[in-house]
């Protein structure tokens, strides 16, 4: 009951904007949508968004699960590692993270090139943000670092709910660590994994600050995702009719959420 006024306010604003925006985009029929899908920059931003999302979510999954498994211990000083590996990246503001990574990737005085040359991995400084391909990789690495803590928190919470007696019984039956992970940890953690993947996928598709600060969508649109493209088109170039792209993005995210929820329900029924 205490939360109800807030819920009504948020839902009211969201529903009003959605109901107002969708009919407005059709005031000239489907002409604006035809124009959008003929725009090569829009199609390129979709491809960039897919690469950005798949790379980031995959990296966050493996990094988050690995860190969670590493920190799933009751050792005395484990709280310190949890702060360093989870809290620090998660609590770093997006602007600070973006500026820091941009400085680290700088081809002239960035710390990454300096370290790599000192340990003789590279001979010449690499322009990490200077080419489309390298900029994509650099952004995904930065986003994995910024985003894996939330996955690690979810996975760590799930790991700590698994009954330790299951592992003890499996060990008595002669199961090794990989078998215990595959037969006990993964099945019991699968609902949390699916939910976390859904959330990180939606957040990554909608994520704006790191891209805009580090590359601004460049070079030559090579890192332009749909959210940065919508922002530039609508607010920077004031092409407001093309803001209908946000409806397309909303529809895609809605479909993704529906698919994940169906998968989650099947997993729960299978258990």
**CA-to-CA distance for 103 and 92, rounded, in angstroms?**
16
**CA-to-CA distance for 103 and 128, rounded, in angstroms?**
11
Give the Å distances, CA to CA, from 63 to 57, 133, 186: 10, 22, 15
Instruction: Take residue 39 and report the two structure tokens written for it.
Output: 């725009």
Considering the domain boundaries, does residue 105 fall inside one? yes
Instruction: Take residue 44 and report the two structure tokens written for it.
Output: 């390129």
CATH number where 233 lies: 1.10.3720.10
Considering the domain boundaries, does residue 29 fall inside one? no
**CA-to-CA distance for 230 and 242, rounded, in angstroms?**
8
Task: Tell me how many domains the chain contains.
Answer: 1
- pLDDT number for residue 25: 77
For the whole model, what pTM was predicted? Answer: 0.89
- pLDDT number for residue 80: 77
Considering the domain boundaries, does residue 6 fall inside one? no
Output the tens digit of pLDDT for each of the chain's 271 residues: 888 999 899 888 888 877 777 777 777 778 888 888 888 999 999 999 999 999 999 999 999 999 999 888 767 677 777 778 888 888 899 999 999 999 999 988 899 999 999 999 988 888 999 999 999 999 999 999 999 999 999 999 999 899 889 988 998 888 898 999 999 999 999 999 999 999 999 999 999 999 999 999 988 889 999 999 999 988 888 877 777 888 889 889 999 999 998 988 887 776 6
Considering the domain boundaries, does residue 18 fall inside one? no
Considering the domain boundaries, does residue 34 fall inside one? no
Range of the domain at 90: 39-270
Considering the domain boundaries, does residue 106 fall inside one? yes
**CA-to-CA distance for 248 and 268, rounded, in angstroms?**
30
Considering the domain boundaries, does residue 161 fall inside one? yes
- pLDDT number for residue 240: 74
Considering the domain boundaries, does residue 31 fall inside one? no
Query: Quick one: CA dihedral 154, 72, 146, 189, positive or negative?
Result: negative
């Amino acid at each position: 009951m205490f939360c109800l006024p807030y819920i009504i306010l948020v839902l009211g604003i969201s529903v009003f904007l959605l109901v107002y925006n969708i009919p407005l985009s059709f005031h000239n029929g489907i002409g604006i949508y035809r124009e959008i899908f003929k725009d090569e920059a829009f199609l390129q931003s979709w491809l960039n968004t897919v690469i950005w999302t798949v790379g980031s979510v995959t990296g966050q999954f493996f990094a988050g699960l690995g860190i969670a498994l590493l920190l799933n211990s009751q050792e005395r000083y484990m709280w310190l590692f949890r702060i360093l590996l989870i809290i620090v990246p998660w609590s770093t503001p997006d602007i600070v993270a973006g500026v820091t990574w941009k400085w680290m990737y700088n081809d002239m005085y960035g710390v990454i090139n300096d370290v790599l040359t000192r340990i003789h991995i590279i001979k010449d400084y690499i322009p990490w943000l200077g080419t489309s391909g390298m900029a994509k990789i650099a952004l995904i690495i930065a986003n994995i670092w910024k985003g894996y803590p939330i996955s690690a928190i979810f996975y760590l919470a799930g790991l700590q709910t698994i009954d330790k007696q299951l592992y003890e019984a499996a060990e008595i039956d002669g199961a090794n660590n990989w078998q215990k992970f595959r037969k006990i940890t993964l099945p019991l953690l699968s609902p949390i994994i699916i939910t976390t993947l859904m959330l990180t996928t939606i957040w990554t598709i909608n994520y704006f600050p790191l891209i805009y600060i580090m590359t601004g969508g460049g070079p030559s649109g090579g890192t332009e995702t749909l959210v940065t493209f919508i922002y530039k088109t609508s607010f920077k170039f004031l092409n407001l009719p093309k803001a209908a792209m946000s409806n397309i993005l909303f529809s895609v995210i809605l479909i993704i959420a529906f698919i994940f929820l169906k998968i989650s329900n099947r997993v729960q029924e299978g258990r």
